[in-house]
Amino acid sequence: MLKLRSEIVHRIRAITDVAELHVYLQNAIELEHATIPVYLTGLFSIKQAQNIEVSEIIRSVVIEEMLHMTIASNVLNAIGGSPAINHPNFVPTFPGPLPMEVGSDRGLIATLEAVSKEQIHNVFMAIEEPSDPLLFPVKVRKMARNEDYSTIGEFYQAIIDKIEELGESIFTGDECLQVVDSQWFPPDELWKVVDVDTATRALELIVEQGEGTQLSPLDPERNLAHYYRFAEIYHGRRLVEDEDEELGWSYSGAPIELDMEGVFPLKANAKAEDYPAGSVARRYADQTNYTYSALLNCLHETFNGEPHKLDHAMGIMYELRLSVQKMVTIDLGNGEHAAPPFQFVTTNV
């Protein structure tokens, strides 16, 4: 699993005032969001009606990252904080480190690139890697433990421990701020955070959906955790139960092919200013940046007193998808296709 500096976990454990905990839950929101542009770029690079299984896997993870962002926002609201989403510093610079320099222990640089087995392994799987990946019948490189760093799981556990230590009195947030919408997220994945128990269970879900447990690749909903879903793409086989293997699983199920002929060769880490002013690519880049920023504005409003706007946010996301699906078909004439920049811009939405 990606790691962050242990001093962050130590600072969380030393907190005495709940207001100090607000900072780290805001960090959690930023971290959960930061993976979404990375995964969406890979998803949108796939040509329509091709690599369908790969698309479904990536899309399923994106949806759960949105769930995790919502959970972290609910917990922050529950303890009297306010999520801050619609500002330029909320959006990472690509290529670059994840928030809190997560992954700096192994030199991870988050990039916006077309899907490939290299991108799946070096970025997607690296982001989701458990602290101790279950070694099914494939060779998985394990990182030596560095005591100067802590895992994302330990980061969330430190927050959970601090919430339990500070107790029920910190839950001063207005219950009306809680975002709960069964149309988008089932009630066994998203619920109101109103006390220690509901906050603890919600944060534990974030960790388990990302990396599974130490005994199983499955999350609480009996779906494969993100790491193992991406590993299926990398290894080209479904991970299935296998009674012949000691851990009971192997990558020996139905094939999952990633056909690179069905992937647009996107310009990596694109910026709007990379495209000539007035060009079709620049118009689409500006449009996708505007729509993406409108989405962040809408999510900010959703998590700050207008939870009913989640429907509107999902509608904007659909608009973003349509815009990007057109943009990636633009051939730049140099062997690359135009790609969405995911930059924050000022909007009137």
CB atoms within 10 A of CB 215: 9
Spatial distance between the Cα atoms of 42 and 266, rounded to a whole number of angstroms? 9
Q: Please report whether residue 45 resides in a domain.
A: yes
The reported pLDDT for the residue numbered 143 is: 42
Contacts of 323 (CB under 8 A, 6+ apart): 284, 287, 288, 291, 340
Q: Please report whether residue 37 resides in a domain.
A: yes
Residue 217 sits in a domain whose CATH number is: 1.20.1260.10
Angle 68-74-80 from CA coordinates, rounded to 5°:
140
The reported pLDDT for the residue numbered 221 is: 79
Q: Is the peptide bond before 95 cis (omega within 30 degrees of 0)?
A: yes
CA distance readout (Å), 270 to 40, 85, 264, 344: 14, 22, 14, 13
In 3-state terms, what secondary structure has residue 3?
strand
- Total domain count, the chain: 1
The reported pLDDT for the residue numbered 104 is: 72
- CA 165 from centre of chain: 28
pTM for this predicted structure: 0.90
Spatial distance between the Cα atoms of 157 and 163, rounded to a whole number of angstroms? 10
Q: Please report whether residue 72 resides in a domain.
A: yes
Q: Please report whether residue 344 resides in a domain.
A: no
The encoded tokens of residue 172 equal 């001063």
The encoded tokens of residue 138 equal 């494939």
Q: Please report whether residue 295 resides in a domain.
A: no
CB atoms within 10 A of CB 261: 7
Spatial distance between the Cα atoms of 181 and 183, rounded to a whole number of angstroms? 5
Spatial distance between the Cα atoms of 299 and 70, rounded to a whole number of angstroms? 9
Q: Please report whether residue 274 resides in a domain.
A: no
Q: Please report whether residue 337 resides in a domain.
A: no
Q: Please report whether residue 100 resides in a domain.
A: yes
The reported pLDDT for the residue numbered 214 is: 66
**Do the Cβ atoms of 150 and 6 come closer than 8 Å?**
yes
The reported pLDDT for the residue numbered 103 is: 75
In 3-state terms, what secondary structure has residue 270?
coil
What is the extent of the structural domain holding 228? 3-264
The reported pLDDT for the residue numbered 96 is: 92
**Do the Cβ atoms of 43 and 233 come closer than 8 Å?**
no
Where are the alpha helices (H) located in the chain, listed in sequence order?
A: 6-13, 18-44, 52-78, 117-119, 125-128, 152-166, 196-211, 226-235, 280-302, 310-327
The DSSP code sequence of 214-279 is SS-SB-TTSSBPHHHHHHHHHHTEEEEE-TTSTTSEEEEEEE----GGGB--BPTT--GGGSPTTS
The reported pLDDT for the residue numbered 149 is: 63
Instruction: Identify the segments of the chain with pLDDT beneath 50.
Output: 139-145
Report the phi/psi class of residue 275: left, alpha or beta, with left for phi > 0 and alpha for psi in -120 to 50.
beta
The reported pLDDT for the residue numbered 144 is: 45
Q: Closest Cα partner for 181 from 73, 60, 307?
A: 307
